[in-house]
């Protein structure tokens, strides 16, 4: 057994007894997500500056030696119902460090208190905010994991509709792109990846949707027209429940002529880079891959 296989198997074996899996209420899940992620250290030399601009909340992360004025705009995952910029700080800081760019790690309203379209409205405000900071769109990478990937793609649909410039790149980790009802999932699929359970997906989608149709492209971007989208890196785990929609979305991007790099990580679970501290072989390798991809984009080496 290789080191990364051992890391992954140990992680999966311990997941069900961990505090996130043991959370029984949404309030408890939110609290545990914050406390568990707060203990994970940042790369040496990273400086974090809190942002509080009107209704916008988040932070600017500046890795040691980062180049300006390029930047990453990141929206966190959490099923649209939990998670925060602070909880994802350790991941975003490592991505920024790998890319050599500063990052805007931004919050957005969560359901059920503020269901769709509140989070998307804020994401677009965050996009405008970053552009207003002087970040040129051709030096901007937008990114997100899971529900944050959903929000990031929907944000680009809104930006295109409103005539805003597209960014230089789109980086997606295990994006949740289809919120429509799902077919039953075989038990072995859940055993291979216990992080994102079918019942949880169904519940979080219902909470986020409110009275809206899940087939709306802003809610299920898998159904959207992706023409004119920027160069895209999509990383997805080979064991996760969102694999099929990631593959389908990648097909749409490719058919639309988008410069696409799709990487399916063998046997990996949902959003595994977030757990780089427990699965460093694949977690840190995926982050390094993203950093190299960002640096390879036109204009990012200036």
C-beta of residue 261 within 8 angstroms of C-beta of residue 293: yes
Question: How many independent structural domains does the chain possess?
Answer: 1
For residue 145, is it within any domain? Answer: yes
Cβ neighbours of 168 (radius 10 Å): 20
C-beta of residue 278 within 8 angstroms of C-beta of residue 11: yes
For residue 226, is it within any domain? Answer: yes
* Residue 296: band (very low, low, confident or very high) from pLDDT cuts 50, 70, 90: very high
For residue 302, is it within any domain? Answer: no
Residue 100 CA to residue 213 CA, distance in Å, equals 40
| pLDDT, tens digit (0-9, with 9 covering 90-100), for 227-249 | 999 999 999 999 999 999 999 99
Residue 170 CA to residue 167 CA, distance in Å, equals 7
What CATH number is attached to the domain comprising 86? 3.40.50.1820
Of 79, 82, 103, give the one whose Cα is nearest residue 91.
Answer: 103
Residue 35 CA to residue 147 CA, distance in Å, equals 20
Alpha helices for the chain (secondary structure H): 3-15, 19-22, 26-38, 89-99, 118-132, 147-161, 187-192, 198-209, 243-255, 280-296
Dihedral (CA of 160, 207, 241, 195) sign: positive
Mean pLDDT of the chain: 96
For residue 46, is it within any domain? Answer: yes
Q: How far apart are the first and last CA of the chain?
A: 42
For residue 301, is it within any domain? Answer: no
For residue 292, is it within any domain? Answer: yes
The predicted model gives 120-141 an average pLDDT of: 97
Residue 230, domain extent: 3-296
For residue 15, is it within any domain? Answer: yes
Active site residues: 146, 240, 270
For residue 75, is it within any domain? Answer: yes
| pLDDT, tens digit (0-9, with 9 covering 90-100), for 189-201 | 999 999 999 999 9
């Amino acid at each position: 057994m290789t080191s990364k296989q051992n890391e992954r198997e140990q992680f999966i074996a311990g997941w069900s007894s961990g505090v996130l899996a043991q959370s029984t209420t949404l309030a408890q899940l939110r609290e545990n997500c914050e406390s568990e992620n707060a203990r994970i250290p940042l790369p040496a030399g990273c400086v974090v500056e809190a942002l509080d601009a009107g209704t916008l909340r988040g932070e600017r992360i500046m890795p040691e030696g980062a180049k300006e004025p390029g930047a990453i705009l990141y929206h966190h995952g959490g099923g649209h119902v939990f998670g925060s910029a602070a909880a994802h700080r350790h991941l975003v800081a490592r991505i920024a460090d790998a890319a050599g760019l500063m990052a805007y790690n931004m919050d957005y309203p969560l359901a059920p208190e503020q269901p769709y379209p509140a989070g998307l409205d804020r994401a677009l405000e965050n996009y405008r905010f970053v552009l207003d900071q002087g970040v040129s769109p051709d030096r901007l990478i937008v990114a997100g994991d899971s529900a944050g990937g959903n929000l990031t793609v929907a944000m680009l649909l809104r930006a295109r509709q409103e005539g805003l410039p597209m960014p230089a790149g789109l980086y997606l980790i295990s994006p949740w792109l289809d919120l429509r009802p799902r077919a039953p999932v075989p038990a072995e699929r859940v055993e291979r990846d216990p992080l994102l359970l079918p019942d949880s997906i169904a519940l979080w989608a219902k909470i986020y949707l409110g009275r809206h149709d899940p087939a709306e492209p802003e809610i299920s971007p898998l159904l959207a027209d992706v023409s004119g989208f920027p160069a895209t890196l999509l990383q997805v785990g080979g064991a996760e429940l969102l694999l099929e929609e990631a593959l389908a979305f990648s097909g749409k991007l490719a058919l639309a002529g988008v410069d696409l790099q799709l990487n399916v990580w063998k046997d990996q679970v949902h959003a595994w880079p977030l757990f780089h501290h427990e699965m460093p072989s694949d977690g840190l390798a995926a982050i390094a891959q993203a950093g190299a991809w960002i640096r390879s984009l036109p204009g990012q080496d200036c």
